[in-house]
Chain A
Amino acid sequence: MSASEQDVVVRLTGITKSFLGVPVLRGVDLELRAGEVHALMGENGAGKSTLLKVLAGVHRPDSGRIEVNGEEVVFGTPREAQQAGIAIIHQEFNLLEHRSVAENVHLGREPVRRGRVDRRRMEEDTRKLLDWLGEDGIDPAAPISRLSVAQKQVVEIVKALSTDAKVLAMDEPTAALADQEVELLYDLVDRLRKRGIAILYVSHRMREVFDLSGRITVLKDGAFVTCAPTTEMTSDQLVRHMVGRSLDALYPDRATDEDLGEVRLALRGAGNQRVREVTFELRSGEIVGIAGLQGSGRSAIARAIWGVEPFTTGTLELDGVARRITDPRAAVRLGIGFVTEDRKSEGLALRQSIRDNALLVRRAALPGSAGRKRSDLAALLKSVTVVARGEHQEVRYLSGGNQQKVVLAKWLAVGPRVLVVDEPTRGIDVGAKQAVHRLLRDLARQGVAVLMISSELPELIGMSDRILVVHEGAIAGELPAGASEEAVMGLATGHGIGEVA
């Protein structure tokens, strides 16, 4: 036996799994070695999360073997998998909003002393892990509901680490993180790897996969395609394995002068609790990007425009008319659409069908017969490439990326004149990402004004006709199309253009 053979911590062979007779995994093999980062790639709905859930004891495989340290195991519950040293960071947040950070981290494994939960030790342990990660901004006693999305992700990681796992599987851990925070995660993954932990890494971001992983396994439609060392694969090959064809890496053409129309949306000195003195114009036909660090106020601007947390000072003009938008309904009726960054809690009615979700806004906010129209549903879903069993499938059973596409469809259904998109491609695979990019550009060509927030700088730069950079609640500057990442980061971190700390 070779040395690497002995290092195998987990081996999955021939795993199959069907839901209601529909096969989702068809004989998948996977092998995780100690101290190795193993990337798992595949399109939306390929079965990556399902495979992780099989490993985590959430789903029982229909057939196939799971071996841990050479011995066959059967996990009946997540608890058993946990006890075997397997920790999973699921694709969707797995935290209790109203409990504290420490309580969440130790959930199910609370330390007990003399019959009572040792809260102090819980908080100390959590603090130690947070320190080890270099995160001192999170109070172990604070409730989860007060944390930002990125901080929640950190808590998820701490929660997984606290189990003393030998195997750590992460399902798109960076989907909620901005580029800068991804660096933090890189560092973390590296340290875990050196500790001899086997890491399974699922991500749609090519760059991460090539930076981090030692080997890559590709799934397509639930079947095993290939497994190869990362060094022996190019990103082009990888895409071909995943999508079945190659993709050009180009973004759609930017708006020309003819494309640009009237000023659709104008903010003048607008502000509220989170942001101040926001002034910019958005023309029909253009895509304006908003860049900034997590928590800088990017999303706050979007949410204010849409009336969730309205502006309290300054003016907002729509087609030259000053408007006060105090709730989302008013925004929808004025032709503003908003794709939220938090699809699970704000974007979808998880227990309703794809069709009901896609038509939700149209039915709720549009008056008269326009609200009841549904003939174009199929075309709508196709334009965002939703992969599902049918339009009656409940949204909660869709893969993460496909859920995101339904959120997009929901807004396309009402034909907004201003579309605000917050992380529109979060969790979407490479092929579909390109489809979304084209879609946004097509919308712009048809005269829609698009305001786009994205934590993925290449995407933001590639798509935007102009970029506004937000820093600590105010606009720090504006950059033209095709600005460099350094320029954006410089402004975003509060330095001048081009200097990065």
Chain B
Amino acid sequence: MSVVQQKSEVARGAGRGGARRFSLTPTPTVTVYLALAVLLVVGSVLVGIQGGVLLDQGGILNILTRSTVLGLVAVGQTIVIINGSLDLSVAYLVGLCSLVAAETMAGSDGMMVPGVLLALGVAAVVGLVNGLVVTVLKVNAFIATLGVALILRGYLEENYTGPAGSVPRAFQHLGFDRVGPVPIGVLLMLAIAGAAWWYLRRTRGGYHMYAVGGDIDVARLSGVRTGRTIVTAHVLCAVAAGLAGVFLAGRLGSGAPYVGTDAGYDLESIAAVVLGGTALAGGRGGVVGTIGGVLILSTLDTIFDDLAVDPFFKDVVRGVVLIVAVALYARRQLSRRSG
């Protein structure tokens, strides 16, 4: 019996050591929000030196508004990336869905609900295609969703030259109204993020997503329906992108084919997810971090606008931030493994 006891003592000792190390290195999520806080302070000082104010009501509003659409897309992207997959078609999908919504509504109040539903339906179908190509045809997600992106682009280029359709005035309120000081769009984005968080962290489906992303063979051998899980993730991601398109249609008053690609939501959303500490290989991370990543990116943009720096410098800083963040997370992982 003493053998067993001793072994568990050793194990406990190891556990304690691990716990100590663990508390020294904060999780990526904590790191993101610390970085965000630091960024806000530094930004405030820099903008202050130039005689401006970063965090007045207008400034905060600016940051939040910038975060809305990217936030919606990035939350969806988080779900697929946790599955170890990826979606490069979101940018075109955003444009497509804005068009579907605006053209279906065609300025009439009665068509608002059908317009939204149809746009989300189209998004879900695109997501389904993405998911099936990845799981059934076993095409690598990078290629599969790039292919779907190209198809969407072809369709958009063939059929549209500029904005089309129009949304009724009532729907435009969605883009601009506020509840108290907070824009409705931001609330929508946070609600979606909250739902995604709940789904990933609390439901069986979410557990299976982490399992599939962590190790798909382990998940399959343990009885998880891996194909179904991945397809669900792609559908959810596409619907989130569709929602972003619908929201943009409300804000712009019409559908715009390249509204998603002009903002680079495909790569930008992946950047936000990775910045938020979700592992690109899948299995680790979450929505909370992603929102932090989105806020960092939009805060940077707002600061740069206030400082009126040139675009090149802006991109350099964004690039550096991204690389530094990922390098930090990688270090942490190394120190954990050696423990």
Contacts and interface: CB of A to CB of B under 8 A. Distances in A.
Interface of A: 56, 58, 77-79, 82, 88, 90, 94-99, 103, 107-110, 112, 115-117, 134-139, 142, 145-148, 150-151, 159, 180-181, 183-184, 273, 293-296, 308-309, 472, 493-494, 501
Contacts of B219: 96, 107-108
Given A96-B215, A295-B11, A115 B203 contact: yes
A142 B8 CA distance: 14
In which size bucket is the chain B interface?
35 or more
Interface of B: 1-4, 6-12, 14-15, 17-18, 198, 202-204, 206-208, 210-211, 214-215, 217-225, 283-284, 336-339
B233 to A, nearest CB: 17
B3 A293 contact: yes
B11 A137 contact: yes
B218 A95 contact: yes
A150 B7 contact: yes
B214 A96 contact: yes
23 contacts: A79-B224, A90-B221, A96-B283, A103-B207, A107-B207, A107-B223, A108-B222, A110-B204, A117-B202, A117-B207, A134-B4, A137-B7, A137-B8, A137-B11, A146-B18, A150-B7, A180-B3, A293-B6, A295-B7, A295-B10, A295-B11, A493-B6, A501-B3
Contacts of B221: 56, 58, 78, 88, 90, 94
A140 to B, nearest CB: 12
Contacts of A108: 208, 211, 219, 222-224
A273 B17 contact: yes
Contacts of B211: 96, 99, 107-108
Main SS class of interface, B: helix
B14 A146 contact: yes
A147 B338 CA distance: 12
Main SS class of interface, A: loop
Contacts of A151: 11
A295 B14 contact: yes
Contact of A99 (B3, B198, B214): B214
Given A180-B3, A293-B3, A82 B214 contact: no
A396 to B, nearest CB: 10
* Residue among A82, A90, A95, A107 with max Cβ neighbours from chain B (10 Å): A107
A184 B4 contact: yes
A394 to B, nearest CB: 14
Contact of A98 (B3, B207, B284): B284
A395 to B, nearest CB: 15
Nearest to A471: B6
A95 to B, nearest CB: 6
Contacts of A294: 7, 10
B206 to A, nearest CB: 8
Contacts of B283: 96, 98
Nearest to B12: A137
Given A78-B221, A134-B4, A296 B10 contact: yes
A110 B229 CA distance: 15
Contacts of B4: 134-135, 180, 184
Contacts of B2: 493, 501
Nearest to A345: B337
A305 to B, nearest CB: 16
Given A96-B211, A137-B11, A145-B337, A493 B218 contact: no
Contacts of A103: 207
A273 B13 CA distance: 12
B212 to A, nearest CB: 10
Contacts of B206: 117
Nearest to A146: B18
B204 A112 contact: yes
Contacts of A90: 221
Given A96-B283, A150-B7, A110 B207 contact: yes
B222 A117 contact: no
Given A58-B221, A108-B222, A115-B203, A139 B8 contact: no
A94 B10 contact: no
**What 4 pairs across the A-B complex have the smallest Cβ distances?**
A137-B8, A108-B223, A137-B11, A501-B2
B210 A99 contact: yes
Contacts of B202: 115-117
B180 to A, nearest CB: 30
A294 B198 CA distance: 40
A134 B5 CA distance: 10
A291 to B, nearest CB: 14
Contacts of A184: 4
A97 B214 contact: yes
Given A108-B224, A151-B11, A295-B10, A117 B204 contact: yes
A338 to B, nearest CB: 16
B1 A501 contact: yes
A315 to B, nearest CB: 22
Contact of B220 (A78, A88, A142, A295): A78
* Residue among A82, A115, A137, A139 with max Cβ neighbours from chain B (10 Å): A137
B162 to A, nearest CB: 45
Nearest to A105: B222
A82 B203 contact: no
B222 A107 contact: yes
Given A112-B204, A146-B14, A295-B14, A79 B7 contact: no
Nearest to A116: B202
Contacts of B224: 79, 107-108
A94 B222 contact: yes
A308 B12 CA distance: 23
Contact of A493 (B3, B217, B222): B3
Contacts of A494: 6
A79 B338 CA distance: 35
Given A108-B223, A134-B4, A117 B203 contact: yes
B109 to A, nearest CB: 35
